[in-house]
Amino acid sequence: MAPSQVELISTLKELYSLDGGNSDDIALVYAFPNPTQLAASLPVSHKYAYQGPRTMKLSRDTMARFCLGCLAQYYGFIAGPMDLYLFDIDQAQPELAPVSSNNWVKSVPTHRTDAERVFSELQESQRPKLHFVEDPQTVATVDKKKAVITPMDFLDGHGALVDQDAHWDLLSKRTLALSGLPSPPTEVVDSILRADQTKDQAVLAKETDRILERIASRHLPFVVKLPMGLGGHAVFMVKKEEQRQSCLTVLRAELPSMFHSLTHENEAKTPVSLLVQDVISGLSDGVSIFVTKAGRPVYISTSEQILNERDEWSGGFMDYTHQKARGEQYHELIQKVADYVYQRGYHGPMGIDVMTDAKGQQLIVDMNIRQTGSYTLGLMKKHFFEQRNLPLGGLVCPIAVQGDRDHFEGKFAEEIQAGTLVIAAWCGSPRGMLGYSACGLILGAQDREHMQALMAKVAIMAVKK
């Protein structure tokens, strides 16, 4: 018997339609950003440059399956019946399917069938209207406002829902530090270089030394952040001398590429800077909200973040029984943040990471003016809590598992049938069982012990790094 289809408590279509919004006039154009070009379908962005010095060094094909396949699908899982554009992944060679013993035809690429299979798990009325992009100009000229995870160069002048310059500025961690919103004490170290100076190696070396001196001389502990990093790939927790030296080594290698990312179009936004921040002890809450077209904040959910051994975001927990209390707890802060981003031109999904200091003050340690990874957990409340009486939701994304989806489903047949494991993203290798797949999993459980046991079972399937 096939498992029952997933029913979300709400969708992006419904949220974009609030307060006079028109979701029918919006198309979701989704790709997770990467500093290098991953496929012919998506040009690399130079003006809207992103930084990820701690990102694992993987092949272009592997990164494409994560960023254009797995993560883009995962973010699109909550779209509802909106137009959703995903970018094609390059094929090393055409995938062929037999039509007879001696007749083969070009088959549908694996990443497309994977995406269609993922969205078929949703009840029909909540499935996105899926499109695949071979040529970026075809989506650029679509007569709808384009909502994105992060700005992309090729969409400038082509009807972005939010002005891309304003959006990119809001995404910068430098913006939060200078915003006046409650956040940990932060020293901003800006580069003084301009785009026309980046070819002088002596100048670059001197500027690198000047910027890194603040890290070399600061008392421990502290946190170092780059302004345009995502997913913890540009954050360094520095509590020991060896961590200081490691941070300096990585940044000395990264700063030249940051300098070269300066253009006459982006230099006014000061994309080359470091943020050196006080350490706040304790766990952070990931608070998801939606800012409507009228600027009203809609509370979605609060999750507890999961960080991997590299202090990078890799998932989250959510207790559905605590959501009302968390919404009340953060109500004033949510309103402040919504007012701030709306006044600067943003409306749509977003999240803030909040910690409470020893004096009880709520501090924003990160502000993600985009759809966040934990956003999906909040909208899974109906599936897990209301329909199955499972008070805990969990998220593991992205994760690489050995083999294809059929093999994985065979190992988790009981959990999939019960609805305690939902595959919200899957991008496999054309090699099938001989390769590995990038996926995003959403889990439900009665308590933390059962959740941890399910996560441990998933971890057994994971490709070891």
Query: What would the pLDDT profile of 289-339 be if each residue is shown by its tens digit?
Result: 999 999 999 999 999 977 666 565 556 899 999 999 999 999 999 999 999
* pLDDT confidence band for 160 (50 / 70 / 90): very high
| 384 has a pLDDT exceeding 80 | yes
Identify the CA nearest to 269 among candidates 168, 356, 357, 135: 168
* pLDDT confidence band for 438 (50 / 70 / 90): very high
- The mean per-residue pLDDT over the stretch 149-176 comes to 96
- The mean per-residue pLDDT over the stretch 337-365 comes to 96
pLDDT at residue number 53? 74
pLDDT at residue number 240? 95
Q: How far, in Å, CA of 346 to CA of 336, rounded?
A: 14
| 157 has a pLDDT exceeding 60 | yes
- The mean per-residue pLDDT over the stretch 129-157 comes to 97
Q: How far is CA 303 from CA 185, 249, 379, 442, in A?
A: 24, 33, 12, 13
CA 302 to chain centre: 16
Q: How far is CA 268 from CA 193, 221, 259, 265, 344, in A?
A: 11, 31, 13, 7, 17
What's at 68, amino acid-wise? L
**pTM reported for the whole predicted model:** 0.92
| 170 has a pLDDT exceeding 80 | yes
* pLDDT confidence band for 93 (50 / 70 / 90): low
Strand, helix or coil at 406? helix
- The mean per-residue pLDDT over the stretch 209-223 comes to 96
Q: How far, in Å, CA of 236 to CA of 115, rounded?
A: 34
pLDDT at residue number 52? 74
The answer to whether 230 and 150 are in contact (CB under 8 A) is yes
Q: Identify any residues that bridge with 450 across adjacent strands, giving them in sequence order.
A: none
Strand, helix or coil at 325? helix
Tokens of 296: 């009203």
* pLDDT confidence band for 108 (50 / 70 / 90): confident
Residue with tokens 């408590």: 9
Percent of the chain whose pLDDT exceeds 70: 92
Tokens of 292: 């409507």
What rounded mean pLDDT belongs to the chain? 91
| 100 has a pLDDT exceeding 60 | no
pLDDT at residue number 430? 72
What's at 367, amino acid-wise? M
